[in-house]
Amino acid sequence: GAGVSQSPSNKVTEKGKDVELRCDPISGHTALYWYRQSLGQGLEFLIYFQGNSAPDKSGLPSDRFSAERTGGSVSTLTIQRTQQEDSAVYLCASSGSSKNIQYFGAGTRLSVL
């Protein structure tokens, strides 16, 4: 595609429910990243994929968070038993050979009630 696509753009859920967030990276980009951005804050790194493997998942805040990537393309971030503090914008990015230049999607705004 032309850019990084994320879905849904908005998600409202109840505390305790599981949610899945999807990311479609730019075609041909082997590196994929997930970040979280709380209101008025900077971005917090969650996980990095190279192909289908995740060599750096150091930013996942708890074992309720997991992510996978299949076919070296689409990635899904899953949050189990959501809590109110999980409310944030979840951003996905992909990059080609220059990892400093990351192309971001518009994000998924997650609200946990």
Q: How far is the CB of 65 from another protein (least distance, A)?
A: 16
CB closer to another protein out of 73 and 108: 108
Least separation in angstroms between residue 14's CB and another protein is 25
Residues that bind another protein (CB under 8 A): 4, 31, 33, 35, 40-45, 48, 50, 55-56, 58-59, 91, 93, 95, 99-107
Nearest to another protein of 33, 65 (CB atom): 33
In this complex, which beta carbon is closest to another protein, that of residue 80 or of residue 109? 109
**For the purposes of burial, counting CB atoms within 10 Å of the CB of 98, is it exposed (0-12), middle (13-18) or buried (19 or more)?**
exposed
**Is the CB of 53 or the CB of 84 nearer to another protein?**
53
User: Three-class SS of residue 90?
Assistant: strand
**With contact defined as beta carbons under 8 Å apart, do 84 and 112 qualify?**
yes
CA distance 99 to 65: 24
Longest dimension (CA), the chain: 40
